[in-house]
Amino acid sequence: MSARPVDATAQDGTSLPRVIVLVPAAMRRFAGNVESFDVRADNVDAALRAAVDVHPGMQPRLFAGDGRLFRFVNLFVNATDIRHSLGMETPLQDGDVITILPAMAGG
């Protein structure tokens, strides 16, 4: 699992995939009011860890105190729900788009 700033390379000297993180409207105030930003990471877990390194305000909205992703946070790589893939270990390729979609509750 590797995540680095946008210009980073992996330990073997190869470039990590550059992926786009889409920030939901409800979370943008914790992410510098941006709709999206790039990180370099080889899987979803590393990408989200890189995202909270860039925008620390996102941390308590994504991860519980024990470091696990909250159950109510849905993640998609391109159009695929990661629960139907390898979960947080879902591998990433250059240009993939991670969509963060918090579940909405209410009545």
pLDDT in tens, 56-80: 999 999 999 999 999 999 999 999 9
Taking domain 3-102, whether its CATH number is 3.10.20.30 is answered by yes
Angle at the Cα of 93 from the Cα atoms of 89 and 98, rounded to 5 degrees: 65
What pTM does this model have? 0.86
Ordered by start, the domain boundaries in the chain are 3-102
Using an 8 Å Cβ cutoff, are 55 and 31 in contact? yes
